[in-house]
């Protein structure tokens, strides 16, 4: 829940501490696995778990073989975190009370996000995350909440709306409480409306359809009850949408784009074409995790107006970074989870299970749709939340008494399985800590670059590199600081010495990130001098 409150955790200064918490979580789960299982407990992994393990192993392998070790390492650590959270929520959250508390918290944070989005849209001169974070000025009058993007803000609200609607429609709470949940879901829809995110509008419709599907198939009332409820909800939300001038503006621009023959000129379409070009040249294994930001400029046409670190399409981004092998493994996981949701709902006769499954399914459908138009799985807060909700839903679905043919028993591994998980969690935590310490030193100086003495900048960059010698960002910062210091030197010998140090730092940065064209330009600039 910390992630959404801090720019979607899309900054390393909050993402890395969250990954450290996941490392602790993995160690705790490993310790639990060292205990002798209860008599009725069956420790098995199915095809869903196997697909998760295969993608994690592949992501780690691509990190170790990537030309850009630092950025690939960060993405690989995020992938491990998503897997750890998913498996923990699936197998380590047996207490329904705790699961339901998480859903109530999600609704509360969603309502808070909506209120913050409204407040910030009316106080554009307030920068709660520092003067460098002025995204609300770029997106205004669209709401962004505590995120740095209206699209990611709205997608988080869609998942919170799914939880509120599931609690209101599928629970056995007292009617006043259920009415409050419906009211809160409509209030959060206002946030989605004023985000202006067309992808989130589609995702919201997908989430409502997912809830309708489960209500008809697994609800306790006649089919026309959920259908009537959804129709009422669609009418109310449609009325709210019609009141917004922002919605009319966004829909008009979409109509002009589609009917005017200008689709090929749209930045998103051009970016998709460039992504497909990258995929053609790196078809099998991709360019490496987290490398899209450095590879895409090599394919960028002059007509593209936007600058981006991601493909704005999670499927294309996965294809570019991991190749057809990685995308195939990801699609195996998507197919396995989707079939599980669409299959028979074998749960205990408790309304909490139905609510958890419905919330997970709504989030799953919403993100699958929104990932066609944006990159929410590259926003740690939203990705962690998606895999948490999906894991909780999978955990409430009881397995058949006869094990599925694609399953592996873990009982023969005994306590060694837990020991192995503990060791992996400790190794993962050590790597996250090293990266976080290096990034902390780098972030402290990069936030004040140009405002503090150059000698302090150099000292901070060197401190970051002592913690993490592979920090490509700190190497570039070190070179820039030496280059700036060289320009201030009046003595030619001192100027040459500083220039030499700058060149040395740039050459190391080039080795750490050979895909970054800007580093090559800096080296060429020194060579011309």
- pLDDT per residue over 93-143, tens digit each? 888 899 999 999 999 999 999 999 999 999 999 998 888 788 888 898 899
Domain 448-528: which topology? Answer: 1.25.40
Dihedrals φ, ψ of 349, to 5°?
A: -80, 65
Q: How far apart are CA 492 and CA 502, in angstroms?
A: 15
Q: What is the arithmetic mean of pLDDT over 317-339?
A: 96
Question: How, if at all, do strands 407-409 and 44-46 pair?
Answer: antiparallel
CA–CA distances in Å: residue 333 to residues 128, 209, 273, 322, 340: 38, 22, 26, 15, 11
* Count of alpha carbons within 13 angstroms of residue 294, beta-carbon side: 25
pTM of the model: 0.92
260 has a pLDDT exceeding 70 = no
The pLDDT score that the predictor gives to residue 255 is: 78
Return the percentage of the chain with pLDDT > 90, whole number: 59
Could you report the per-residue pLDDT of 424-472, keeping only the tens digit for each?
Answer: 999 999 999 999 999 999 988 877 777 788 888 899 999 999 999 999 9
Q: Are 62 and 322 in contact (CB under 8 A)?
A: yes
Pairwise pLDDT comparison (28 vs 306), residue with the higher score:
28
The pLDDT score that the predictor gives to residue 430 is: 97
Q: What is the arithmetic mean of pLDDT over 332-355?
A: 84
* Count of alpha carbons within 13 angstroms of residue 450, beta-carbon side: 1
The pLDDT score that the predictor gives to residue 321 is: 96
Q: How many CB atoms lie within 10 A of CB 325?
A: 17
The pLDDT score that the predictor gives to residue 304 is: 61
CA dihedral 69, 72, 76, 78 (to 10 degrees): 120
Mean pLDDT of the chain, nearest integer: 89
CA–CA distances in Å: residue 58 to residues 96, 329, 383: 34, 9, 19
The pLDDT score that the predictor gives to residue 188 is: 96
Per-residue tokens: 474: 């700190």
The pLDDT score that the predictor gives to residue 135 is: 84
46 has a pLDDT exceeding 70 = yes
CA–CA distances in Å: residue 116 to residues 153, 195, 254: 11, 12, 28
Could you report the per-residue pLDDT of 511-528, keeping only the tens digit for each?
Answer: 999 999 899 899 988 877
275 has a pLDDT exceeding 80 = yes
The pLDDT score that the predictor gives to residue 346 is: 64
Q: Which of 357, 338, 344, 345 is nearest to 171 (CA)?
A: 357
Q: Are 319 and 327 in contact (CB under 8 A)?
A: yes
Q: How many CB atoms lie within 10 A of CB 128?
A: 12
Could you report the per-residue pLDDT of 368-414, keeping only the tens digit for each?
Answer: 999 998 999 999 999 999 999 999 999 888 765 555 556 777 777 77
The pLDDT score that the predictor gives to residue 401 is: 54
Indicate the pLDDT class of residue 219, thresholds 50, 70 and 90: low
Q: Read off the DSSP letter of residue 413.
A: G
185 has a pLDDT exceeding 60 = yes
Q: Work out the widest C-alpha separation in the chain, in whole angstroms.
A: 87
Q: Are 160 and 192 in contact (CB under 8 A)?
A: no
Domain boundaries, the chain: 2-43+89-129+145-264+338-413, 448-528
492 has a pLDDT exceeding 70 = yes
Q: How far apart are CA 29 and CA 36, in angstroms?
A: 13
237 has a pLDDT exceeding 90 = no
């Amino acid at each position: 829940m910390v992630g959404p409150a801090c720019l979607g955790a899309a900054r390393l200064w909050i993402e890395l501490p969250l990954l450290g918490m996941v490392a602790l979580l993995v160690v705790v789960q490993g310790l639990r696995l060292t205990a002798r299982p209860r008599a009725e407990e069956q420790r098995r992994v199915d095809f869903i778990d196997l697909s998760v393990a295969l993608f994690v192993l592949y992501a780690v392998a691509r990190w170790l073989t990537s030309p850009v070790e630092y950025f690939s390492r960060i993405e690989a650590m995020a992938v491990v975190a998503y897997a750890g959270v998913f498996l923990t929520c699936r197998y380590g959250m047996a207490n329904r009370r705790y699961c339901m508390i998480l859903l109530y918290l999600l609704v509360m944070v969603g309502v808070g996000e909506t209120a913050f989005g409204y407040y910030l849209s009316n106080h554009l001169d307030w920068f709660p995350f520092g003067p460098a974070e002025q995204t609300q000025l770029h997106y205004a009058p669209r709401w962004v909440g505590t995120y740095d993007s209206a699209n990611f803000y709205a997608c988080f609200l869609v998942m919170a709306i799914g939880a509120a609607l599931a609690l209101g429609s599928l629970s056995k709470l007292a009617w006043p409480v259920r009415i409050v949940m419906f009211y809160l879901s409509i209030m959060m829809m206002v946030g989605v409306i004023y985000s202006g995110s067309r992808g989130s509008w589609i995702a919201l419709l997908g989430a409502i359809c997912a809830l309708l599907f489960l209500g008809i198939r697994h609800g306790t009332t006649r089919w026309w009850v959920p259908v009537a409820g959804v129709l009422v909800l669609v009418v109310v939300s449609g009325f709210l949408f019609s009141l917004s001038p922002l919605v009319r503006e966004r829909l008009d621009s979409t109509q002009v784009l589609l009917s005017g023959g200008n689709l090929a000129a749209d930045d998103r379409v051009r970016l998709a074409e460039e992504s497909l070009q990258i995929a053609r040249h790196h078809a099998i294994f991709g360019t490496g995790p987290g490398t899209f930001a450095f590879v895409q400029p090599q394919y960028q046409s002059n007509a593209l107006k936007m600058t981006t670190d991601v493909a704005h399409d999670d499927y294309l981004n996965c294809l570019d970074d991991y190749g057809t092998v990685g995308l195939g493994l990801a699609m195996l996981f998507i197919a396995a989870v989707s079939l599980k949701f669409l299959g028979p709902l074998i749960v205990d006769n408790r309304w909490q299970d139905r609510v958890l499954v419905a919330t997970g399914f709504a989030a799953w459908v919403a993100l699958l749709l929104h990932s066609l138009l944006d990159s929410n799985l590259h926003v740690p807060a939203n990705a962690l939340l998606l895999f948490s909700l999906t894991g909780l839903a999978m955990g409430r679905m009881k397995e058949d008494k006869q094990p599925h043919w694609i399953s592996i028993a873990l009982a023969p591994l005994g306590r060694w399985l837990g020991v192995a998980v503990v060791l992996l969690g400790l190794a993962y935590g050590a790597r996250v800590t090293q990266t976080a310490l290096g990034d902390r030193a780098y972030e402290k100086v990069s936030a004040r670059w140009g405002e503090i003495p150059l000698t302090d900048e150099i000292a901070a960059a060197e401190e970051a590199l002592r913690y993490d010698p592979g920090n490509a960002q700190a190497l570039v910062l070190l070179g820039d600081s030496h280059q700036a210091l060289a320009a201030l030197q009046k003595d030619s010998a001192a100027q040459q010495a500083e220039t030499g140090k700058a060149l040395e730092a740039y050459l190391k940065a080039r080795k750490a990130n050979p895909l970054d064209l800007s580093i090559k330009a800096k080296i060429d600039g020194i060579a011309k001098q």
